[in-house]
Amino acid sequence: MAIRDIITYPHPVLRQVAESVTNLDGKIQALIDDMAETMYSAPGVGLAANQVGVPVQVIVMDASEKDRPRELIAVINPLIVACEGKIVNEEGCLSLIDFRADIGRYKRVTVKGLDRNGTPIELDKEGLPAVVLQHEIDHLNGILLIDRVSRLKRELYIRRLKKVLMKQASRTR
């Protein structure tokens, strides 16, 4: 297992639609292990494969409470098949430097996919786990958190990010 670099906006891989996984080989198993280690070290509650530069349909998540044992979930080729209710939560993203926003999502979702062994699974989640699933599945579809905010908020963030990136670039020269 290894901690991988988390790709940050505006890297183009974050806008790619991830490819379906058709071969559950050792590379996918290693990717899942690395993604889990990367997510926990970040720290985060979810991670999509394209966030570590691999545009395939794999997500990992762990929305367990801090005082509880870890509950890692890996889903390959996840698909939301049912949803209900509405909820607004403040969300952040490991691929968006210093950005948080209140985002409307479904309160409950049912997701079908495969577990890491290729066994079909169906997850029925509510609240934070449902939000995490939706957020990570958005990533697999090339959709970022900033796509779910107003145009003004998105433009302000992009301007602020450009300044930060320019400062970083000038320091490395």
User: What is the rounded average pLDDT for all residues in the chain?
Assistant: 94
Please confirm, yes or no, whether 71 is among the known catalytic residues.
no
User: What pTM value is reported for the model?
Assistant: 0.93
In the three-class reduction of DSSP (H, G, I as helix; E, B as strand; rest coil), residue 35 is classed as helix
Q: Give me the catalytic one of 19, 37, 122, 136.
A: 136
**Beta strands per DSSP E along 68-119:** 73-84, 87-92, 100-105, 108-114
Give the model confidence (pLDDT) of 87-134 as tens digits: 999 999 999 988 999 999 999 999 999 999 999 999 999 999 999 999
**Whether the predicted pLDDT of 80 surpasses 90:** yes
What structural domains does the chain harbor? 12-172 (3.90.45.10)
Task: Record the tokens describing residue 98, joined without a space.
Answer: 């210093």
pLDDT, residue 32, reads 98
pLDDT, residue 130, reads 97
Q: Which residue has the higher pLDDT, 76 or 161?
A: 76
CA angle at 73 for the pair 110 and 49, rounded to the nearest 5°: 95
Give the model confidence (pLDDT) of 27-41 as tens digits: 999 999 999 999 999
pLDDT, residue 60, reads 98
**Whether the predicted pLDDT of 172 surpasses 80:** no
Q: Helices (H) and strands (E) in the chain — how many of each?
A: 3, 7
pLDDT, residue 169, reads 78
pLDDT, residue 173, reads 66
